[in-house]
Amino acid sequence: TSQHVSMGFIQAISTSLRSTLAAAALFSTSTSKSMIEVAQFSCLDDNYGYLIHCAETKETAAVDTPCAKTYQAELDKRGWTLTHIFNTHHHWDHTGGNLELKKAGVKVYGPKDEANKIPGIDVALDGGQELEFGGTTTSIMSVGGHTLGHIAYHFGADGNHDVFCGDALFALGCGKMFEGTPQQFWTSLKGLRELPDETRVYCAHEYTTGNAKFAASVEPGNKALMDRIEQVRKLRAEGKPTVPSLISEEKETNPFLRCDVSEEIRNNIGVVAGDSDETAFGKCRKAKDNF
């Protein structure tokens, strides 16, 4: 009988605890006024467009502007009014719609080191700065390498876990090193790798299938990678995006975040004794360029 009473007591406590936690979660969700909403849609051939919206403040930001017409159609569909443009870097498929979308009240933000290449820029941003948007804060990260002044927008406060990283980090890959150096790019990627595991990675292109082929060639013994590649295959077969991914997934499967920790990758890209981690990254990037 005492055992029956004890088990009943434990079950009662367990039920009560679950109810308390559920209520707490509901309260947290329903009262938050600084959670951002992200609309993701296809642009051009393989770009992704993003709109970030706050229902409370009515602010809406475009992350890069590959195609003004596509962005405006998405704004109209949702009944949102554009207030901000957040550019990550100067390439045309990220800034091409700036001037057409820039209307009264719309401010264009972009990297300070590329300000002279960002059409219509109003506010130049540096890594380490913070920007208030939608009742929350976005931290500006320097992620140069693809271009020299490339920045990312990290929403990590008030229950948000999102980074908009342009062409710096991709699902299972990273951008081509057009302007930067291996040292700069490796430092940038390490900074992104240090974000919380639950951070959603909103990159700018659907390149994952191609990236997966290279990743498999340099780390075929990585079971997590093989499992992810199968997931990518299924998603693409169904016409679904592979973006966003999670930082935790990238840490486990992205060769450009693993060239300092995976002996298999290091052996397959020709890393030798005495090579620095940035040299190893440079070899990984060159291997992908020639793949």
- Residues designated as active site: 89, 91, 93-94, 146, 167, 205
Judging by DSSP bridges, how do beta strands 107-111 and 123-125 pair with one another? Answer: parallel
The torsion angles phi and psi of 56, rounded to 5 degrees, stand at: -75, -50
The per-residue b/e assignment along 95-119, b for 16 or more CB within 10 angstroms, e otherwise, is: bbbbeebbeeebebbbbbbbbebbb
Among 195, 205, 204, 158, which residue's Cα sits nearest to residue 36? 158
At 193, the amino acid letter reads: R
Could you give the CA distance from residue 229 to residue 213 in angstroms, rounded to a whole number? Answer: 8
Identify whether the C-beta of residue 161 lies closer than 8 Å to the C-beta of residue 94: no
Q: Which residues pair with 86 in a beta bridge?
A: 63, 109
